[in-house]
Every structure is written in C-alpha cells, then in structure tokens.
Amino acid sequence: MIGLTLLPILLSGLAVLASPTTQITSSPVTLPFARRMNVTGAHDILRMDQARAKSLRSKSHDAKSVSGGTERDVLRSAVGAAFGVPSTSQGVDYVVQVQVGTPPKTYNMLVDTGSSNTWICCEMDYFPSPTSFDTGNSVYVEYGSGVMLGEQYLDVVHIAPGLSITNQSIGVALIAIGFDDVDGLLGIGPQVLTYGNLFPNATEFVPTVVDNLYDQGIIPKPFIGISFQPNNATQNQNMTITNGELSFGDVDASKYEGDVNYVPITKTLPAGYYVGINQTVTYGSDKTMVLNNTAGITDTGTTLLLLATDALATYQQLTGAVLDENVGLLKITPDQFSNLQSLFFTIGSETYEFTPNAQIWPRALNSAVGGDDSSIYLIVSDIGTPTGEGMDFINGMVWLERFYTVYDTLGSRFGVAKTAGTYATTN
C-alpha cells in the first residue's frame, strides 16, 4: 500500500519495470461505456454545468508557481482549496472500465475530454506492484464539480483485453471530492491541460493515455472516436445503461453515416486549450442567427448544450420558452413543441441539424431533474457569460449523443459526422 505522504521523495536512477507493449494490427480498438444518471446531482444539472464552464474558462495553463514558499506550502494551500470545493457530482456522466497494475485491478472511470490527467481513487485501493513506479510527484487537478489531490505513479494501464500501455502516468488520489460512485477519471483531452498539475515538476507535461498508445506503437493513429446512441423510452427509465463506444486508433465506420468532416482546433483561447472548434448556430428554416461564428468546445463532462447568455436569450425568444425556476431549465408547452424548429450547427463547410426532439430533455427522466412528468424541458441553457469570452458555447453530452465525433490529437483537429441517431425521436 502506498504511503499517505503528500511529499514523496523523488526516486532517481530507477528503471520502471514494465510488461511488453502490445502491437495492435486491427484498428480501431473499441471500449464500451455506459451512461449514468446521478439522481441526486441531476436536480442541479444547470448549476453544475455552469460551474464546470466557469472552471474550464478560468483554468490556468501556467505552471503553478512554488516561488515565495516551499512545496509543502503549496500543497498545504491545495489541501485547503480541496476541502473548500462543494461536493456535487455531475448529473449525467459516462463511465468506462479500465484496468490498472499487475495483476490488473478494474476501475470504473469517468470519461472526460475536458481534462487530461488519468487518476484512480482512493489510495487505499492501489497496491504498487512490479510494474509500478512512484515518480515522487504530487498531482492536483481542479474540476467544476470537485478536486483531486494525490501522488503520481507510472504503471501498466489495460484499456482492453490484450491492449496494455506501459509507463502510463496515473494519479493515486489521497483526496477526491465530487466524484461519487466512480473509481477515477480517464482524461482524454489535449496534453496541454496537464501542464502545471504536478509538484514539484510543475512545468512537466504528462503524456495522456492516447499519447502513449500512439507513441508505443499500439495504435496507428492518435485518434479518439466517441459514439453514443440516444436512448429509447425503455432505456431512458434506467439510471445506468451501456449506450456508447470509445474507440482508439481510428474512426469506427460502423458508427456513422456519410463522411467525417474535419476542422482544426480553434486558435481562440481558452477554447483552444480543449477540444475547441468554431461554429455558427441558426434556428429554423429561415436560418435566424442565434450564435454567430465563434469559438467554444465539445465536452463529455458537460451534460447540456450551453450557449452564451445573449445567444440563449435569442433562442428563448424564438421558442417562447420560460424558465422553470425549480428545475433550472427552459420549459415549453405541447403547442410550442409542435412548432419548435431545428437548430443548425455550421462547423467548417458542413451544417448539422439538431432536431426539435434533440432539443428536449428525455421526458422519461423529468423526475430525475426535479420536473413533473407532463412538462417539456429544453436542454439548451445559459453558459453564464456573454459572447466574446473565448468560450461561447459548450456542446455537451446531449449534443454529442446525436453525432459521431473524433479528436485527432496529433493533427490538432476535430471531426464530426451524422449517425443513425441524429434524427431519432426517442426523447
């Protein structure tokens, strides 16, 4: 069992013992994952999404400075901050099973494109083995709904049977607040998001799971494909269902229709630190402008579709929706739903339709967000800031469930394609 010290001594001159790397000849390698509904957290779904958006916007990408104090001072401050973070889990999240160590131990881990550190909790469940190496670094990562503080190890991570990454950085949490009923987090965002998260090596970038899969020759391309299916009425009543797939190494052509449209990651900051793109959003057949071409992100850690405050006001006026103060979501009448028109997202040279059905919260889950069964709630909400802030939208899980998306880490580009679920009427 690892020690509880927050200041492990850096071990030098030791070679990491690792099992042989597996070369994968077929691609992509797929990993199923499940949607979970946190019944307690879902009542505050908008507040949690806005808190995450605020955290993503304000995240510092400079190394945390230890000037003016010792590492102990910095970590003491981090611990204080950790205990000051509200413990509220995400309302809806996606979980994969990943194995760590030798012999492998299975962990249920959140999938997050908005962060890049991979970690497990808590330290009592992790026993160093012949493939483990304590780097001497501590790890501290803040999230919109919580915080993680722990120690950095290098170890074998098993993504799928026969698919093992050696010397993968993992955080072993001593403190993990706001992550109920999960065993850790699989960070698959850009590597830049790891900068400044280690102590004392605050200027060190940490290779992500995808980086190492590619660098170790396990996958032919540094691609992550994300596929979801909107849930049918029966599935919507279940709190946990397997309806998604994470693929590594290439796109999974069986999960989309037509071609994948690739666009570069936006240069606008802070969106460009994440899986950020530029897009235009219009409403209806007459293409009324809702959000002019601007930067934002796609994010598996956000549940709703968040638009800049002024864009949301335009959308609300067009739909006639009113805010349900108890739920926190916009609500429309059955007649208004009958007249609801599609939103259109122009990304690069292609336009993608987001149907009226895609714009409503699954009615079978109304009670999970504190609503009544007969009401119709919209999943388009306020990001909390006006346009021009460098992150004017977040295409969260409700948007990602309607499309197939790809993140090319080496090419720094994002891909999107239509799926069989794009025009589904399951909500």
Catalytic residue IDs? 112, 299
Residue 418 φ/ψ, nearest 5 degrees:
-75, 160
Give strand ranges (E) for 196-275.
198-199, 223-228, 240-248, 257-264
Q: CA distances (Å), 188 to each of 51, 207, 244, 275, in order?
A: 20, 10, 16, 10
Interstrand relation of 105-112 and 184-187 (parallel, antiparallel or unpaired) = parallel
Q: CA distances (Å), 310 to each of 126, 344, 381, in order?
A: 47, 17, 11
DSSP string, 43-110: GGHHHHHHHHHHHHHH---SPPP-TTS-HHHHHHHHHHHHHTS-----SEEEEEEEEETTTTEEEEEE
Two structure tokens written together for 303: 């549940």
Alpha-carbon span 173 to 367, nearest angstrom: 33
Burial label, 35 (beta-carbon count in 10 A; 0-12, 13-18, 19+): buried
